[in-house]
Amino acid sequence: MKNRTLIVSFLLPFLITIITIMSFYTVYNYFETKNRLINDINLRMNSISKQLNDSLPHFINSYAISEYKKLIENQMQDNNILAIIVKDYSYGKIFGKEFIESGKIREFDKILDFDREYANHNNLLNENFSYIKTDLIDNFNTKIAEIELYSSSNELNTKLNEIVKKSIFEIIILSLFIIILVFFIIKTLILKPIFNMVDAIQNNDKYGIPKENIPENNRVKELNELSKKMNEMISTIKNSRYEISQINNKMELIINSINDGIWDWNLKTNEVYYSNQWKKILGFNDDEIKNDFNEWKSRVNPEHFENIEKDLNYYLESKSDIFKNEHQILCKDGSYKWILNRGIIVNRDEDGNPLRMIGTHTDITFIKDLQKQIIKEKDFISNIIDNSNVIIAVIDNKGRMFKVNKFTQEFTGYSQDEIASVPFFWVRFLHKNVQVKINEIVEEAKKGNIKKYFKASCFSKNNEEKIFEWSNTLIKKADGSIDYIVTIGIDVTEKEIIQKEILQQKEELELIFNYSKDGIAILDLNTRFLNFNDSFLNMTGFSKNELLEKTVFQLVAKKDDEKNKRIINQILEEGFVNNFEETFAFKDKRVITNLSISLLPNKETLLMIIKDVSSLKVLQEQTKLASLGEMIGNIAHQWRQPLSFISISASSLKVKSEFNILTKEEINETSTAIVKQTEYLSNTIDNFRDFIKEDKSYTNISIKEVLDNSLNLVYASLNNNFINLTLELDDDLSILGNKNELTEAFLNIISNSKDALKEKKEEDRFLFIKSKKLNENRLKLKFLDSGGGIDEEIISKVLEPYFTTKHKSQGTGLGLSIVDKIVRERHKGTIEIYNEEFTHNQKIYKGLSFNIIFEKIEI
């Protein structure tokens, strides 16, 4: 229970008594006044009713309505009157009604004319305090009117509220007076002496003992006697405290001389004494931990508390001689320390229940960390041994393999128990010719000698063979004899296989280098020759010593230092340059070559492969000249119609001029037509001239524009061979390329399709060319003919040089090979070739689909 002050204890009963009496008085006065006021209201109502009974008949009989309304309003000056209503039967007869109703009503402290139709007036009447109804009778005993008188409780309620407020005010004033009076008396006679005692007691030393005696000059006799007794008690406590401090000093010297913390637990009060060392172990000063059981409990690791309670209850139930438990306690710095907690009961009550326990706290964190580290390292080593992909085994002096790792068991197919069952069980894993050698190694080990390294195969239970490199370590006893052998076998099977493969590859590369028809050379980063094969040496015509003194760029026919630097930089950045043509000026001849150079893995030397393509270039030129011859024939055919038109038009003008029938309009019309035809002939010549020019420059070109120019050169040839050409060139792409080279590629593709279509009936000769954008930077150009396609077994070879499906007398096999070189090598495009079936004009055809995918490359 919460303690109350002395003043409150004295004042509260007085205050409650006064408030109770005053409350009863107020209630009595309230009801007395209320009855009196109600009687006054009733008397007033009766008086007003009587006055109206005496005065109104005269006014009603004389129909003086305004006069009796004034009379009613005069009576309404009484605040207790809510409403006065008159039902005039005499006046009503004049208007053919039963009565005329009039009167006054009080609304919001205003006197208004009563209106029965107004709902608020009816609501006010329903809330009346009292009501009187009177009938007015004339001298002939006839009812001439009816008076309704309503009273209000507003004034009654106002007066009653004033009584309540007044009573509450009186209670407050009286209570305050009594409180002040009692407070003054208590403070003077009781509180002041008590405060003096408290001040003297609070002026204490660190043990809570007052430094000075309590004053004994009190006016109240009882308080003075209390002061004397307290002073006697203080003197006794001081003497006892001195004796206890002497004992404690001796104990502190003993406790501080050991590293363990001491605790003394009062099981009845739950107070615990903790020694300085106990607190120091946790990092606290002496004044930072109170002597409370919860100081220890709140710091114990929650995961360990249940086990502590179990051990403590086990000891308290006398099931063990000493309480002992290991647990973690939270330190000041937020870390946990491992504590060995030990204690015994030193005091029991008459029933044998424990009252007091004393014990020690020993910091065993270092021991726990050491144990954890040992276990961790042991587990670490065990995990390494068990999870390593090597054989690790231990063999005793009798040849028994008593310990093997997991890999050994998995590889051999035998368990640890099976392998350790008998001495030399493990010998069965080895070749028979190795078993004798192993026995000799064991026998030598018994003499103190060990063969540390050797290589031997090992077999599994399923007869799987692997090659191992074995490492042996001899562990001796104190007397120098063998204790056990640790052997480790590393699987080198793949290493042996790889070494054999490397050796084989080396031999193969040497064969390629020595016997290849292509020239192969090793260069330094300055392109100086370091080594080369015989083919390269024969190609150059130089001697070996002459070639070793030269660089590649010294042999190039056309010297271009800037170009040479770009090639070297590209090799160093990208690692290679592939398939570019270069003309070399060797000792006795010029050779056109196809050249590739790669940076070798050591980043210090280059590998160059060179192929003599001089004869191939001759064939290519012959092929191109043949195409030019065919193209000239096509142009001649294309010119026939325009030239015939020009000749006929000129002859017509001449004849009409001779007969004087030539008009100016006919001259203009014919001249325009002739100019148009000559422009067509000029464009044809320009396209042909552009094609035969040796322009090697690369610029941004339009695929559609190049294709249109190419088609201009072959329209006549296609028409002559009755080939129906269908174009769907809705999409276009600009790429970095050479116009003449692409024209040559497109002409070769169209020529290849034309040759195939000439074998078909005239009505079945179709060539479709379509362009379609795959995305913003890629365009697919498709050539599809109805020529029947190519045999699937050879379709993959059509881009190879010298491969042809025609008779040798009809083709060189270089057309599509040139296309491949132009598109893929020089314009970084891709080619897809396959046979395709399609329907055209409700008829199914099969032909070759030649697809080129161009990538957008800007300058």
Per-residue pLDDT for 735 more than 80?
yes
Per-residue pLDDT for 810 more than 50?
no
Task: Please give the average per-residue pLDDT across 236-254, as a whole number.
Answer: 73
- Listed range (207-216, 331-340, 730-739) with the worst mean pLDDT: 207-216
Q: What percent of the chain has pLDDT over 90?
A: 8
Closest CA to 851 of 838, 840, 839, 836: 836
Domain boundaries, the chain: 7-161, 205-246, 258-370, 388-497, 516-610, 618-855
Per-residue pLDDT for 811 more than 50?
no
Helix (H) or strand (E) holding 19: helix 6-61
SS3 401: strand
**Alpha helical stretches, state H, 659-790:** 664-692, 703-720, 739-757
Closest CA to 36 of 179, 163, 199, 177: 163
Closest CA to 69 of 106, 104, 115: 104
The structure tokens listed for 272 are: 């615990």
Task: Please give the average per-residue pLDDT across 208-224, as a whole number.
Answer: 74
Span 618-855: which CATH code? Answer: 3.30.565.10
Q: Vertex 282, ends 277 and 288: CA angle to 5°?
A: 80
The C-alpha R_g of the chain, in whole angstroms, comes to 64
Task: Please give the average per-residue pLDDT across 319-344, as a whole number.
Answer: 90
The structure tokens listed for 208 are: 């809570």
SS3 321: coil
Q: What is the pLDDT of residue 801?
A: 65
3-state DSSP: the chain helix, strand, coil percent, rounded to 5?
50, 25, 25
Per-residue pLDDT for 39 more than 90?
no
Q: What is the pLDDT of residue 846?
A: 93
Please name the residues in contact with 699: beta carbons below 8 A apart, sequence gap of 6 or more. 736, 737, 739, 859
> Number of helices and strands (H, E) in the chain?
24, 27
Per-residue pLDDT for 687 more than 90?
no
Q: What is the pLDDT of residue 124?
A: 80
3-36 confidence digits (pLDDT tens): 566 666 666 777 787 778 777 877 877 788 778 8
78 by Cβ neighbours in 10 Å (0-12 / 13-18 / 19+) ranks as: middle
Report residue 677's pLDDT band, with 50, 70 and 90 as the boundaries: low
**Alpha helical stretches, state H, 127-220:** 154-186, 192-202
| Domain made up of 7-161: CATH architecture | 2-Layer Sandwich (3.30)
Task: Please give the average per-residue pLDDT across 706-718, as a whole number.
Answer: 81
The structure tokens listed for 551 are: 């660089």
Cα 86 to Cα 135: distance, rounded to the nearest angstrom: 10
Is 786:845 a contact under the CB 8 Å cutoff?
A: yes
Cα 838 to Cα 846: distance, rounded to the nearest angstrom: 6
Pairing of strands 724-728, 766-775: parallel
Cα 705 to Cα 742: distance, rounded to the nearest angstrom: 11
Q: What is the pLDDT of residue 807?
A: 43
Per-residue pLDDT for 859 more than 50?
no
- Which of 172-186, 217-231, 364-378, 669-683 is modeled with the greatest confidence? 364-378
| pTM for the whole structure | 0.34
Report residue 330's pLDDT band, with 50, 70 and 90 as the boundaries: very high
Fold agreement (7-161, 258-370): yes
Residue 786 CB neighbour total at 10 angstroms: 24
Task: Please give the average per-residue pLDDT across 128-148, as a whole number.
Answer: 82
Instruction: Please state the separation of Cα 780 from the chain's center in Å.
Output: 41
Closest CA to 855 of 736, 722, 764, 715: 736
Q: What is the pLDDT of residue 685?
A: 63
SS3 489: strand
Q: What is the pLDDT of residue 639?
A: 58
Per-residue pLDDT for 803 more than 70?
no
Is 285:279 a contact under the CB 8 Å cutoff?
A: yes
* Amino acid (one-letter) located at 263: W
Report residue 635's pLDDT band, with 50, 70 and 90 as the boundaries: low
Cα 95 to Cα 102: distance, rounded to the nearest angstrom: 14
Task: Please give the average per-residue pLDDT across 843-856, as a whole number.
Answer: 91
Report residue 413's pLDDT band, with 50, 70 and 90 as the boundaries: confident
CATH 3.30.450.20 fits 258-370, yes or no: yes
CATH class of 516-610: alpha beta
Cα 841 to Cα 822: distance, rounded to the nearest angstrom: 35
Closest CA to 819 of 802, 833, 799: 799
Q: What is the pLDDT of residue 769?
A: 93
Cα 530 to Cα 534: distance, rounded to the nearest angstrom: 14
Task: Please give the average per-residue pLDDT across 58-78, as a whole number.
Answer: 78
Cα 455 to Cα 433: distance, rounded to the nearest angstrom: 13
527-585 confidence digits (pLDDT tens): 898 888 888 888 888 888 888 888 888 888 777 778 778 888 888 888 878 767 788 87
Per-residue pLDDT for 507 more than 80?
no
Report residue 696's pLDDT band, with 50, 70 and 90 as the boundaries: low
Task: Please give the average per-residue pLDDT across 70-99, as a whole number.
Answer: 81
Span 388-497: which CATH code? Answer: 3.30.450.20
Q: What mean pLDDT is reported for the chain?
A: 80
Cα 132 to Cα 152: distance, rounded to the nearest angstrom: 12
Helix (H) or strand (E) holding 322: none
Pairing of strands 401-404, 390-396: antiparallel
Pairing of strands 110-113, 605-612: unpaired
Per-residue pLDDT for 488 more than 70?
yes
Cα 552 to Cα 522: distance, rounded to the nearest angstrom: 11
Q: How many residues comprise the chain? A: 859
Cα 15 to Cα 13: distance, rounded to the nearest angstrom: 5
Task: Please give the average per-residue pLDDT across 147-171, as a whole number.
Answer: 79
